[in-house]
A and B are shown apart, each in its own frame.
Chain A
Amino acid sequence: MKIIGLWALLLVLSYSLQTSLLTFVSFDGFSANLMLLLTVSVAFLCGHEKGVCFGFMAGLLQDATTGGYFGTAIFSYMTAGFVFGKFSVNLFREQSLLPVISSIPALALHFAITIAFLFLLGRQIDVIKFLKFDFWPTAIMQVVLAYPVHRLVLSLNEFSKKDRRKKF
């Protein structure tokens, strides 16, 4: 229960940080997507099932507070958690460079899903403009913040493991 609370607190704090403080250090109007970074890191460290679960919670929080179409963020983060969680089996989990590199494909996946949903919902989007003005500024911020976020998730994961070992 304590561990779940800690993860939930991490989620809430990260989301609050993303929607408040990070907007002050936005790059060209776009700030980092901490929810996505957290989901990817959790997926890398804990596998696709927990990745999907975390993505669901992160997406739910985002959609419930500031999301445009309810479910788009949930679906996107769940997909990211599932896809990057699949790599966790074959990779060295504590490798910090991997989440940093993965932050860009994760963002690409997130944007692709969002754009696909928007198309399906009948919204017209200029993809080239979107990539030029929206994707790259956010990607730069993602790369910058990917390492500290991963270290944070790693620490919490280690703490969770230790706590679980103590219990058993």
Chain B
Amino acid sequence: MSNKLRKEKQTGKRIIALIAVFVSVFCCVFFAARGKFNTRATDGVSMMIVAPFQRAFSWVGSQLTFIVDTVKEISNLHEQNKLLREEVKILRAQNLSAAEFASENQRLRSLLDYKLAAVQFDLVAASVIGRESSSWSSVIVINRGTLDGVADNMAVVTDLGLVGHVTEAGVNSSKVQLLIDPRSSVGTLIQRPESRVAGIVEGDMKNPAHPRMVNIPKESDVKVDDTVITSGFGGVYPKGIVVGKIIEVRNEEGGLLEYGVLETSVDFQKLEDVAVIVASREAPPEPIQPPAQTPGTETDPHETAEKLQHAQQQIQDAQQQVQDAQQQQLQQAGYVEPQTSIAPEPNVAEEATR
């Protein structure tokens, strides 16, 4: 009986102790929240005990994370590599087409510049869509025909110079006989003002890359590096289109004539875009340029003109004043009757001026 009582007493004490602990902790929360209860010592000790373990576990965690990340990364790399390969393929294709477009852009820009510069010509831009090249013929096919205004015997050029002429104009395409074709003959002359020797440029079957300028009289003023331009004779090719330059002068077999070997200004192997001259007219005269002035004494023509005008005005004013004064003197002397008009007589004024 006493044991039971003792147990009950102990249980009661324990319950009271528990309640006391609970209440204390409950109160602690509010005291701590209001800053009236400080646990710095406990915190320090706890941190000191826990910190080494936390550090160790953190290290393990970071290593595990690193391993997991590495594995994930490796698994992703394969897929990424696959995608990148695909991307590289696409980008390479794009790069090629971009380079192609850039090249085309550059060519067309050059052609456009030429079109703007050659105001005497009406040009139709065309692309080379076919090519036939052998030792006996050099013909290209362009993508412009009669629908675009192209007709037979029209000259074909690039910004660099003469290409050839249209031999057969179709509805939407045309055949162009190149300058280097053996059947081609172009009336030309040497551009150098002292020379102006005329000749005919024709294709050379033996050396298709270098046409010849023939029919040049011996001892003519034709030199290496002379530029050859079209002469305009014959009516097919307008005058002044660059054909090429002389790289060699040789004697003809007969001995009376000589011929020049030409390096064409147009690279016929790289011919992609050309322009057909559908109409030509005489070039407008060049604007008159003022002559070169001596250094240190340069004058602005407009400024000089203004000064001259101003000086002329001053002279006129002075003349008027002198005339007025003379008129007054003459009136005072009684030689002349006073006039209502102020303007003097022209002959008197002239004399006064003199």
Residue from B39, B43, B57, B62 whose CB has the most chain A CB atoms within 10 Å: B57
Contact B21 A20 (CB under 8 A): no
Inter-subunit contact A71/B25 (CB<8 Å): yes
Which single residue of chain A is at the shortest CB-CB distance from B49? A12
**B32 interface neighbour in A60, A65, A69, A79, Cβ under 8 Å:** A69
Q: Is B29 an interface residue (CB 8 A)?
A: yes
For A75, what are the chain B residues with a Cβ–Cβ distance below 8 Å? 22, 25-26, 29
In the assembled complex, A44 has its CB within 8 A of some CB on chain B: no
- B28 near A82 with CB under 8 A, answer no
Question: Nearest residue in B to A48 (C-beta to C-beta)?
Answer: B18
Contact call A74/B25, Cβ cutoff below 8 A: yes
Return the contact of B50 from the options A12, A21, A56, A78 (Cβ within 8 A): A12
Set of chain B residues within 8 Å of A127, measured between Cβ atoms: none
Determine the distance from Cα of A74 to Cα of B56 in the docked complex, in whole angstroms.
26
Q: Is the CB of A15 within 8 A of B29?
A: no
A70-B37 in contact (CB<8A) = yes
Query: Which residues of chain A have C-beta atoms less than 8 A from B39's C-beta?
Result: 63-64, 70
Report the interface size class on chain B. 20 to 34
Is A49 interfacial (CB-CB < 8 Å)? Answer: yes
Q: Is the CB of A121 within 8 A of B30?
A: yes
B29 touching A117, Cβ below 8 Å: yes
A48 to B32, CA, bound (A): 27
B58 with A65: CB separation less than 8 A: no
The answer to whether A65 and B18 touch across the interface, beta carbons within 8 angstroms, is: no
Closest-by-CB residue of B relative to A19 is: B54
B42 proximity list for chain A (CB < 8 A): 60, 64
Q: Quick check: B57 and A16 within 8 Å, CB to CB? A: yes
The reply to whether A16 and B54 contact each other, CB–CB distance below 8 Å, is yes
Task: Say yes or no: is B33 at the interface (Cβ < 8 Å to chain A).
Answer: yes
Do B53 and A16 touch (CB < 8 A)? yes
Among residues of B, the one whose C-beta sits closest to the C-beta of A77 is B25
Q: In the docked arrangement, what's the CA distance between A100 and B30, Å?
A: 33
Interface residues of B in 16-67 (CB under 8 A from A): 18, 21-22, 25-26, 28-30, 32-33, 37, 39, 42-43, 45-47, 49-50, 53-58, 60-62, 64-65
Interface size on A, residues (CB 8 A): 30
In the assembled complex, the Cα of A56 lies from the Cα of B17 at a distance in Å of 13
Contacts of A23 in B (CB 8 A): 61
Q: A13-B53, A61-B50, A64-B43 are in contact. Are A71 and B26 (CB under 8 A)?
A: yes
Task: Report whether A52 and B33 are in contact in the complex, using a CB–CB cutoff of 8 Å.
Answer: no
Contact A20 B29 (CB under 8 A): no
User: A71–B32 contact, CB under 8 A?
Assistant: yes
Give A52 to B22 CA distance when docked, in angstroms: 10
Q: Is the CB of B25 within 8 A of A15?
A: no
A74-B25, A75-B22 as given contacts; A69 in contact with B57, CB under 8 Å: no
Assembled-state Cα–Cα distance A63/B25 (Å)? 12
Do B43 and A21 have beta carbons less than 8 Å apart? Answer: no
Neighbouring B residues of A49 by C-beta, 8 Å: 14, 18
- CA A23 – CA B54 in complex, angstroms? 11
Residue from B14, B33, B55 whose CB has the most chain A CB atoms within 10 Å: B33
Of A15, A17, A56, the residue contacting B21 (CB under 8 A) is A56
> Can you give 30 contacting A-B residue pairs, CB < 8 Å?
A12-B49, A13-B53, A15-B50, A16-B54, A16-B57, A17-B53, A20-B56, A20-B58, A20-B61, A21-B60, A49-B14, A52-B18, A56-B21, A56-B25, A60-B42, A60-B46, A63-B39, A64-B43, A64-B47, A65-B50, A69-B29, A69-B33, A70-B37, A71-B26, A71-B28, A71-B29, A74-B28, A78-B25, A120-B30, A121-B33
The 3 nearest A-B residue pairs measured at CB: A16-B53, A71-B29, A70-B32
Question: Interface of A with B (CB < 8 Å)?
Answer: 12-13, 15-17, 19-21, 23-24, 49, 52, 56, 60-61, 63-65, 69-72, 74-75, 78-79, 82, 117, 120-121
